[in-house]
Structures are given as C-alpha cells and as structure tokens.
Amino acid sequence: MPTHLLANVLRFAAPRDVEAVTVASRLVALHLLPQYPEIWRVLFVRQWEELNFQLDDVNEDGRNLVVDARLRALFPLECTETRVFQLLSRVIVPLPSGMDIGETQRSWGYSDTHHGIAPLETKNGEDQDDVGAVTTFAFDGKRFGNDRSVRANLPFPVSFYIAVFKRRVQDASSKKESFVYHIGATSSGYFEISISDPVSRPSPHATRNGRVEMTAIGLVPLNFPLVGKQPGWAIPSFGYHGDNGKVYSAFPWKPFGPRFGVEDTVGCGIRRSTQDKDRRVFFTHNGTNITSPYLPDAGRYIPCDNEREWFPAVGLDSPNTIHVNFGQQPFKYDHVIDELFGECMGTNALVARQMLQNANKARVRAVSRNCIDVFIANVLERHSLEWGMATGLSDLGDELLAHVLSFAAPRDVESLTVASSAVARDVVPRFPTIWKSIFRRRWEALNFPLAGVAQGAALLQINATLDALFPSSCTESRKFQLLAHAVIPVPSYADIRETQKALGYTDAYHRIVSLQAPDLMESHSVDFALDGGMLGDDRCVRANMPFPMTFHVAVYKRNPTEEDKAQGQTRPVFQVGVVPGGYFELSLSKRQNRHVRAPSMFGQDSMTSIGLVNSKFPLVGKQPGWTRRSYGYHGDDGRYYHGTPFEQGRPFGPMFKAGRTVGCGIRINPRTGSIFAFFTNNGELISGEDGAYLECEHRNWYPTVGLDSYDALHLNFGQEPFVYSDITDELFEECSGMANAVSEQLQWYDISDSDGESSEDEENDDSGDGVGSEISDEEISARLIMRILAMRRAGMDDV
C-alpha cells in the first residue's frame, strides 16, 4: 500500500488499532508515523470531540492544533510531535461542555409553567427530544421571581487535566484573522456566558412578583437545589448577579462589580494559587477581571473548598438568550488561557501523574492496562538494547511473544493477528495460553476469581459437552477467543449494599458484616453474617445478578476424580461450559457474636433460609417464600415456602443449621422453556410431595439467603467444588445436541480494557440485560482497516 494511502487509512482507525499496527509493523513505527504527524493530530481531535465539544474550525489535517509551550516543555526533547499527540490523546477526560437542562427539569419543585427552559441549540446537533448538554438556551416559564438554575453536565476537575481553548490569531503580514486551538494542562477552569436579546419577549401580563429581570453566573456543588435558588444563595455556592452587581457566597459580600445584561459577556473561573496551592473563585466582565476592595488576595479572588467538585452554573430569571462558552469559541477574557496553562510550569511529575489518574478514572480505573503497556514497552526496550536495533513484536521469538500477548488487551491481540502473518500463523494457534489468559481476566473482571489458574495451581478446561459443539477444525485458541467474547455477569457474590438501601433497614436491627478475607474485595463478599442487635425482624441478602434464563457461559470448579489421580492429574480444574439457569450453595458455621444472648423479637428460634426472589422482593422484613414471587427452603422447620406466610409452608426436607451445606438452583428445559426450582441438603437432592423440581414463573430469579441467626454464612457460586457434585455435569449436559440454540443465545460482546471494573456501581434491573456494548463506529472502522491489511498480507510477509 502506498505510504500516503496507508497514512490516510490510519487517520480513520481507532487509536488502539493504530498503536497495535505500530508495534506490529516497522514501516509504520519508523517511517510512517514520524513522517505524518497529522495521523495522531486527527485521532486527538476525534477523541476530544467524542468526550467534549466539537472543534468546528480545526483544519482537515489538524495543523491549527497548537500545544502550549509550557506543556510541550514537560516532554523530553527527543519526543516527536506524533508521540506528543499520541500521549495527549490517552489523557483526555470528559469536561464541562454544555449545560444540563434535564437535571433542572428533574429537580424537586420544577414545573414547565413556572420554570420552563427552552434549548435553542443542542450539543452535537442532537435531536430536540433528547436535550443532552446545551450551550444556548433561555428561560421560557410564565412566572418571574421564582428562580431556577442550570448547571453544567460535569464539574471542573480538581487536579491537572488536558484542556483545549479556541483563540484568534492574526497573520502579521496579511493581517488576516484565523483560529487556532490551544492545548495545555491546568488544574483550574473557566467559562463565560454571553447574553443577547430574547427570541421572543414574554407577555406584559407575565407575573413578576415585583422582581427585576436578572441573570447570574457562578459555581455550585452537586447537591445544590436547582429550583428556587440562584447561585450563591446556598452554602456552599458562589454567584455574581446581574441585577445588582453583587457577589453572593458564604460571606455577606459588599458591592462587587458592574451590573450586566443584554450584550454583556461575563465569566467565572476557579484557580489554584501558586503560593499556597489553595483554590480561589474569580469573575470577569466584558473581558476584564473584576477586582473589589472588599475581597482578599488583591481583591480578585474568593477562597473556596479545595477538594469539592464545582459545577459551572447559570441562574435564570430573565427571558434573555444565554450562550455558554467552555472554550469552543474564543474567550472575551483571553488572558485566562495563559493564566490557566501557566500552572503546569516546573511540575512535570505532578502533572503527568494527575493527568493519568484523571484519565484512568474516566476509563473506569483502567490502571492495570497502563501497567501492561509499560510491561510490553520494557520488554521491547530490553530486547532492543540486547540486539542493538529497533524491535517489533515479531522479533521477540514465538515463546516470548506469546507471553507478552497473554497480557495484552483482546482488541490488541485481534488487531495484531490480522496485521501480522507471524502472529496469525505461528503464535496464536500454537499458544492457547494467550486466549486462555484473556478469558480468565474477562471472567474474573465480570464474575469471581479463578483461584490458582494464573499461578498454574489449577487448570482451566472446556467441558467435553461444550467442546463437542465446536467444529473439529476449531483450535483451542479460537474456542477460548469465542468464549471470552460471550462472557456475561452471572451471580458471583452477595449484594449486601442492596439490603442496606432497602426500606426499613437500620444498622441496629439489620446490620450485616462482611467476613471476607483481607486480600479480597469487601464489596464482592461471599462470606458474611448478621450483626444486628435483635433476631426476629428478618432480612435477606440477594446475589449481585439474577440467573440468566438462556444459555450462557459458566465456570465451575471440580476436584480431580480418582481416575484423574490415577493418570497423574492432581490439580483442581475450572471447567468452562454453557448452561441455562444455574446453582449456588450456602454453608453455615458457628460464629462468636457480641449479640449472641440478645432476645428474639417474637420469641422464635434463630433460622437461616435459602431461595430465589425477583428484583422487587422486599429485602427487609421478609424471608424467601413469604411472597408469591419468591421461593424458599427454611432451616428452622425444613419447610418449603412459596407465597405462604410465616409457619405455613409445606413439609419438604431436613431442618438445617450450622455445619450444613444447602443449595438452590434453577433448571430450564431448553426444548420447552419450562423453568424449575430445586433444593439440596448436604449433597442430596431434596424431593418433596410434588417431587424434586418445582415449576417457576418466567422471571429473572436472584439467588437469595434469609438471615435471622448469627451463624457465619458462605456462598459458593462455582468458585469452589459443589457439595452436590452431580449438578456440574447435569447443567453442562443440557447443551448436548443444542448447537443451534446455543449459537443463537450466546451473544458476541465487544471487550473493552476496563469491562467489569465498575460493575459494583451499576444498578441491576429486572431485565438482566446490559452486559456489553453493541458494535460501535470505532469497531466498524477497525474492521475496515483489518480487511485492508488482510488483503495486503499476501504481498507483505514481513509486515
């Protein structure tokens, strides 16, 4: 492919694909990228516009992107322009870029009649029905004097980040005016509002409550009441008001600056002092920084909370049109750009660390990804020093290259497989550990740890029944690749926080403590116990996810059988299969507790129960089975409950207390779709009057435990061998002969670097959907490049 054409293709690629091809190809790394810096300039623009505002006047090749000299000085002298823009692209974070009208509309006390706000221009040309963040808007209500505010879509960051501001420049010879986009690093922020005549004047009969029309600008915290208040009227917040020119905040400020209204531009910002590093608020009026003899710090700045996140805000009690500028247009107070960008001088390490931290938070704590990038870079650098020449991945040797790829992101491995014939032909098929490692990381990110697999103390294998569904020509690497893309979140831990949010919960009666080992995530607990002050009030803990109702990837641990031991296989095995439904077990053990002598509220014995509930089940005041949409097996009487009140369950199985292990699961007939619940006790399937399998409604059922005893509880979702060991084969064998159903029900999900990192913060609804991303424009562009490279592979053996 001609160099200029390849450069043009890479401008449309996803950043990670460009990086992957750079590592795989000497041509790209040594000749193409240094010769065509516009590749990473364009990628920077795309990344910025995806997260923030549009750079409408940027040149086609990004030549009017200017890196501030103080930011450029933080990079080594030998760092090329291409490398600078590549690194800057990695640390872009979402910033305030528009006003969130929807947040005001959702606030308590809002009504369209009194507080209506009309968007006059939507961000990125979005449809008016989906307002999003807007930059031009106006008050459209019928009642003045009732006050309302609009805040930005995001707060200003509290540490260093990359900012882009548009500036006017004039050619000295031609006197022509043009625009550049100035890129720098700052830990502060600034925005302006311009006020113009209203699109239409309100009726002269509109109620004004004796108030003068006014607009305010300022900063507010997340919990600021957006209806009934103007910026500065609540502590903490800051506001500069146009009707009287006063500043309002926690202190009774005296007159501050000029009044403002139509045809005025006012600004508000926050800066960090170079002397004491404290943050201060400042305001501008028509391009001039406002000073007042009543303010500290030479009359320019107002002290504010250093660590609080401050949202840009506009107060509305006027029909005038408001246009907000976060840097997408030149600022009236242009000096602010140099003031903000000057903060990074002489702070190389601090700036770099804080920008990376901000970027990692925005990408859902992807710190491990950066560590892996550093690891791969160190391998290449060391190999280069030993051999005295530039090194690509294909020069490392197959074994070392396979080891490096086992730490890489899935997208990188797939890109390299297409870009490099050596990777595709010699490495990936011969080293299934690459995709095994990726599968393990994916499973552990979304579900539970596969203890010992990474260290070689346990094996990871595909179950024979699932293996038989793959074509005979399918390699083990390819099987694990396909399975990695099909992994979804399944029940893996107890969601204690869901109980704590339930109506009626109090720590005094319902406190549940995690008994998780110190080296494991406390929020992902499988060991816990009741620690409330009284028994008899009942509470439940459900799993983080419901059982999926269709075929899905499952992993269950098994101990070696006698036959395995006879063949010298003594390590436990995590078997990978596909199942509908699922199973979990609960083990009870005695625990010393400070409330062990506490009385029972109603005098009944302590008890624990196991069962299934739907998402609407009340987790405080009930036990599983006491409502129609729940099923429960209770330890104090051995009865089965389904829509039956206390002590009215049906005789079912043995009673259970500390020292026992009970189980509960769902079996689904894949041919008829019928769903059945079942229970076990110490490894034996329980069969009651209606048999062992109890038909259920078609719903998303959460594994659940009812607590009304102080015993220590341990949940097993497959991370350990089940006591009822037959269940593993029973569930795995349900896919036998069901290749068509399995292929239809297993979905292909795109794997991002940080998938699953934030799953603990996401809300689970009753649908159980939302486990991956659909194919994005970035993915489509990546596939286009992969096809082009694949077509050229025949003529480029040493890519």
Whether pLDDT at 767 is above 80: no
Tell me: the pLDDT tens digits for 406-425? 888 887 788 778 777 778 88
CB burial readout 355-369, b (16+ within 10 A) else e: bbbbbbebbeebeeb
Q: Which pLDDT does position 325 carry in this prediction?
A: 97
Would 688 be classed as within a structural domain? yes
Q: Which of 688, 718, 748 is the last residue of a domain?
A: 718
Average pLDDT of 125-137?
A: 64
Q: What φ, ψ does residue 775 adopt, rounded to 5°?
A: -65, 125
Count CB atoms within 10 A of the CB of residue 228. 17
> Which range has the top average pLDDT, 44-58, 273-287, 351-365?
44-58
pLDDT band at 115 (very low <50, low <70, confident <90, very high): confident
pLDDT band at 637 (very low <50, low <70, confident <90, very high): very high
Sheet containing strand 552-558, edge to edge, reads 459-462, 573-579, 552-558
CB burial readout 671-689, b (16+ within 10 A) else e: eeeebbbbbbbeeebbebe
Q: Which pLDDT does position 385 carry in this prediction?
A: 47
Which residue, 596, 627, 599, is CA-closest to 614? 627
Q: Which pLDDT does position 170 carry in this prediction?
A: 81
Query: Rounded to an integer, what distance in angstroms lies between the CA atom of residue 333 and that of residue 286?
Result: 7
pLDDT band at 131 (very low <50, low <70, confident <90, very high): low
pLDDT band at 361 (very low <50, low <70, confident <90, very high): low
Q: Quick one: DSSP state of residue 712?
A: E
β-partners of residue 583 are 665
Q: Which pLDDT does position 451 carry in this prediction?
A: 94
CB burial readout 697-707, b (16+ within 10 A) else e: eebbbbbbbbb
Q: Which pLDDT does position 357 carry in this prediction?
A: 62
- Would you say the pTM of this structure is higher than 0.85? no
Q: Which pLDDT does position 281 carry in this prediction?
A: 92
Would 244 be classed as within a structural domain? yes
Of 144-148, 292-296, 321-325, 746-750, least confident by mean pLDDT is: 292-296
**CATH number (domain holding residue 598):** 2.60.120.920
Whether pLDDT at 309 is above 80: yes
Total of domains in the chain: 2
Average pLDDT of 499-522?
A: 83
Whether pLDDT at 349 is above 70: no
Of 86-95, 357-366, 450-459, least confident by mean pLDDT is: 357-366
Whether pLDDT at 4 is above 80: yes
β-partners of residue 612 are 631, 703
Q: Which pLDDT does position 784 carry in this prediction?
A: 45
Domain encompassing residue 296: 99-349
Q: Which pLDDT does position 296 carry in this prediction?
A: 66
Q: Which of 317, 349, 381 is the last residue of a domain?
A: 349
In three-state secondary structure terms, 459 is strand
Q: Which of 312, 332, 349 is the last residue of a domain?
A: 349
Q: Which pLDDT does position 294 carry in this prediction?
A: 73
CB distance 163 to 95 below 8 Å: yes
Tell me: the pLDDT tens digits for 514-570? 998 776 676 789 999 998 877 877 899 999 999 999 999 999 999 998 888 888 889
Would 125 be classed as within a structural domain? yes
Tell me: the pLDDT tens digits for 371-415? 444 444 555 445 454 444 444 555 667 888 888 888 888 877 887
Would 43 be classed as within a structural domain? no
pLDDT band at 284 (very low <50, low <70, confident <90, very high): very high
Q: Which pLDDT does position 757 carry in this prediction?
A: 38
Count CB atoms within 10 A of the CB of residue 409. 21
Would 652 be classed as within a structural domain? yes
Q: Average pLDDT of the chain?
A: 82
pLDDT band at 28 (very low <50, low <70, confident <90, very high): confident
Whether pLDDT at 274 is above 60: yes
Would 80 be classed as within a structural domain? no
Query: Rounded to an integer, what distance in angstroms lies between the CA atom of residue 785 and that of residue 792?
Result: 11
Of 19-23, 225-229, 273-277, 337-341, least confident by mean pLDDT is: 273-277
Would 538 be classed as within a structural domain? yes
Would 646 be classed as within a structural domain? yes
Whether pLDDT at 323 is above 50: yes
